[in-house]
């Protein structure tokens, strides 16, 4: 991000942006312990890494306005505008829709004071991992049906919120915090560190159970 005030506008061209975005995506995948199949928009959100083109424009705004008011004020205003712009771009992107549904408010996610992502939690947030719908698309399994329910498609929503075989684990989690849905679970995690850890444990327990019981083959 050295001297972005000079070169940031060049990233408005897709070919130029891609050169930096490829490197940024690799870093985000590693930071979040993610599968490489996760889309750029999703993994950048999960890793809390602002898209390079949007971030470069933010730095340019700070550079151009730094003489007008204090640097702290300029940075705060520029970051707020950046997050808002990024949120709008994500809402228009067809990729990473599951992540976009879970993480509704980018500012809350980026500014959280607790909680780290890990191998299992990233699978939950991205929808890429121990799910037969994901494996089916890559030719790893012969069908996308849940190994427990047989008639239902095994995707993240089914696994964590609907599967009858896993309902006891969900009920136990809800007895510890409150009812969880795809639309409120991340918000609950952000309320306090204890609830973050409880959801993280719930996710890891389910994914390990599916793998150990052979629900990811066939």
CB-based contact 85:107 (threshold 8 Å): no
Q: Residue 218 falls within a domain, yes or no?
A: no
Q: CA-to-CA distance for 60 and 41, rounded, in angstroms?
A: 22
Helix, strand, coil: what percent of the chain each, to 5? 65, 0, 35
User: Which pLDDT value is given to residue 67?
Assistant: 60
Strand partners, 145: 153
Same domain, 48 and 81: yes
Our CA angle for 167, 159, 90, nearest 5°, is 130
Same domain, 101 and 130: no
Whether residues 71 and 155 fall in one domain: no
**The pLDDT value given to residue 151:** 74
| pLDDT (0 to 100) of residue 43 | 96
Can you give the pLDDT at residue 106? 94
Tell whether 133 and 64 lie within a shared domain.
Answer: no
**Which pLDDT score, from 0 to 100, does residue 167 have?**
94
- From first to last of its 218 residues, the chain has per-residue pLDDT tens of 888 878 888 988 989 999 999 999 999 999 999 999 999 999 999 999 999 999 999 888 888 876 666 778 888 888 999 999 999 999 999 999 999 999 999 999 999 999 999 999 999 999 999 999 999 998 888 888 998 987 789 999 999 999 999 999 999 999 999 999 999 999 999 999 999 999 999 999 999 999 999 888 77
- Do residues 189 and 196 lie in contact, with contact meaning Cβ atoms separated by under 8 Å? yes
94 and 159 fall within a common domain: no
Q: Are residues 31 and 55 in the same domain?
A: yes
What is the DSSP-derived secondary structure letter of residue 45?
H
Structural domain range at position 13: 4-110
């Amino acid at each position: 991000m050295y001297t972005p005030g000079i070169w940031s506008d060049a990233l408005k061209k897709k070919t130029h942006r891609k050169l930096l975005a490829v490197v940024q995506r690799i870093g985000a995948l590693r930071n979040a312990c993610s599968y490489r199949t996760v889309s750029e928009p999703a993994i950048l959100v999960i890793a809390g890494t602002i898209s390079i083109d949007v971030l470069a424009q933010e730095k340019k705004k700070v550079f151009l306005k730094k003489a007008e008011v204090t640097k702290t004020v300029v940075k705060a205003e520029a970051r707020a505008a950046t997050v808002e712009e990024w949120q709008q771009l994500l809402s228009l992107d067809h990729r990473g829709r599951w992540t976009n549904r879970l993480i509704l408010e980018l500012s809350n996610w980026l500014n959280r004071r607790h909680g780290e992502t890990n191998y299992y939690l990233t699978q939950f947030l991205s929808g890429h991992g121990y799910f037969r719908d994901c494996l089916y698309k890559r030719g790893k399994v012969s069908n996308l049906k849940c190994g427990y329910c047989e008639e239902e498609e095994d995707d993240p929503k089914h696994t964590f919120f609907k599967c009858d075989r896993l309902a006891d684990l969900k009920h136990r989690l809800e007895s510890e915090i409150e009812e969880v849905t795809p639309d409120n679970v991340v918000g609950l995690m952000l309320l306090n560190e204890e609830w973050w850890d409880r959801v993280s444990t719930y996710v890891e327990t389910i994914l390990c159970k599916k793998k150990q019981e052979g629900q990811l083959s066939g």
